[in-house]
Structure 1
Amino acid sequence: MSEQQYYNFMAAICDQISDPFTPIEIATTNPIESFSPPIFAAYSSRNGDIFIKRLAKYKKLIGPLSFKIDEDSKQLSITLTPSNQQYSLPSFLVLSEFAFLVGLLRKTTKEAISPLKITMTSPVNDEQVINFFGCKIESGKRNTITFAKKDLQVNFISYN
């Protein structure tokens, strides 16, 4: 499957669902019968800061996406970008990726971590989506999720 076919597939899924919360349900389901080395490496991280940087490094093994990280002393932002800049990311895929990050941070820390801010090129502001993330999704030119650095320093219970 080419990169464009992958994005078309994700867009087709989005077109078929009527519940905006579906991407979050899919991304936060815990499929114990599958094993993903990049995700295992993330679970083995000491904290969210290391997890996100590891996942960014290995993300291309999972799909045609890149995580671009910008950080300062107070926050860390992850911008999702397609491998080929001529493509745009379907909102279903972006929402799923952001839900996966938030869900995994919550599972591995047992803390109610929420992003500081989310921007999407095609925002979804369904009530369930807002409740899950703990913030509204703003419209923007990029697909970015931002976390407080202090939240990303919480030790993972899965660290080993």
Structure 2
Amino acid sequence: MDGFNNFSLVNELYKASFESLGLNMELIFKKSDIPINAMETDSYVISKKQCTLFMKNIDDMINDQQIIQYSNIDRVKMFVPPLFAAMCSKNGKHCFERISKYKKLIGPMLLKIEVDNEKLSLKYEYEDESFKLPRFTVLSEQVLMVNLIRKATGLHIKPIKVASRHNYGDGVFEEYFGIKPSKSEINILEFRLKDALEPFLTDNNVMWSYFEPELTKRIKEIETDKSISAKVRFM
């Protein structure tokens, strides 16, 4: 390999998750210049360019109902350990802060959190400002965070704002979120602060103590070695 510059990991579980929704992953991988037989190994290293193409090609082929099906935390946490670990948090605020901290291990996306006395805001952007996040990437993240907080609290929590640069279609997302999403120059998801502070039924310090050392180690590797600063891990 060419050092550790701009590489990502993709594995069979990630591929199988999309295939179970009916997507033609052989075609998507081919269009993304990723050899399909590489998924037969435990994990396969791809470039950041391939990762960007991969997201775009999924975006071209996935429909709204498939985005919602994909964005189920019970499905995604099986191949994204940082999300599984984040569910061990005491509440949504704590969970989102952990996800933001370890986001670099999941994808080439930044998650910024803002909190005031009334609300908690999640803002998404690509780490390279010249690239706009595809519709699939933004909307699946927004659905995933809502699904996560609902599953972890056992409550049907509704966000107070859902907005992005993308169109939300004919009502599928409005029905899921419980509010009408809107167009904006910012990719944003907002919750009432009191909802973000609802206790998680999945709170588990023992499990977190198992995940935290390895996650922290990987983040430190990225932060101390600029040559791998763009590394993405689909685990």
TM-score between the two structures when normalised by the length of structure 2: 0.64
In structure 1, what is the Cα distance between the partners aligned to 2:145 and 2:167? 17
**More helix by percentage:** 2
1:5: how far off? 3.1
In structure 2, what is the Cα distance between the partners aligned to 1:40 and 1:50? 14
- The answer on whether the counterparts of 1:4 and 1:87 sit within 8 Å (CA) in structure 2 is no
Aligned with residue 91 of structure 1, among 113, 135, 138: 135
Which of these two proteins has the greater Rg computed from alpha carbons? 2
One-letter amino acid of the counterpart of residue 150, structure 1: K
* 2:172 is aligned with 1:117: no
- The answer on whether the counterparts of 1:125 and 1:137 sit within 8 Å (CA) in structure 2 is no
Unaligned 5+ segments in structure 2 are 1-45, 205-235
TM-score between the two structures when normalised by the length of structure 1: 0.92
Aligned with residue 28 of structure 1, among 54, 66, 72: 72
One-letter amino acid of the counterpart of residue 143, structure 2: A
SS in 2 for 1:79: strand
SS in 2 for 1:52: helix
* 2:186 is aligned with 1:148: no
In structure 2, what is the Cα distance between the partners aligned to 1:61 and 1:33? 13
In structure 2, what is the Cα distance between the partners aligned to 1:137 and 1:32? 23
Which residue matches 2:207? none
Alpha-carbon distance change, 42 to 86 in structure 1, aligned in 2, over 3 angstroms: same
Correspondence list, 1:9-158, <5 A = 9-17=54-62, 19-28=63-72, 30-31=74-75, 34-158=78-202
Give the CA RMSD over aligned residues: 1.7
Deviations 1:70-101 (A, max 9, x none): 11011011110111111100011101101110
- The answer on whether the counterparts of 2:73 and 2:148 sit within 8 Å (CA) in structure 1 is no
In structure 2, what is the Cα distance between the partners aligned to 1:136 and 1:102? 14
1:128: how far off? 1.9
1:11: how far off? 2.0
In structure 2, what is the Cα distance between the partners aligned to 1:43 and 1:31? 13
Give aligned-pair identity as a percent.
Answer: 35
Unaligned 5+ segments in structure 1 are none
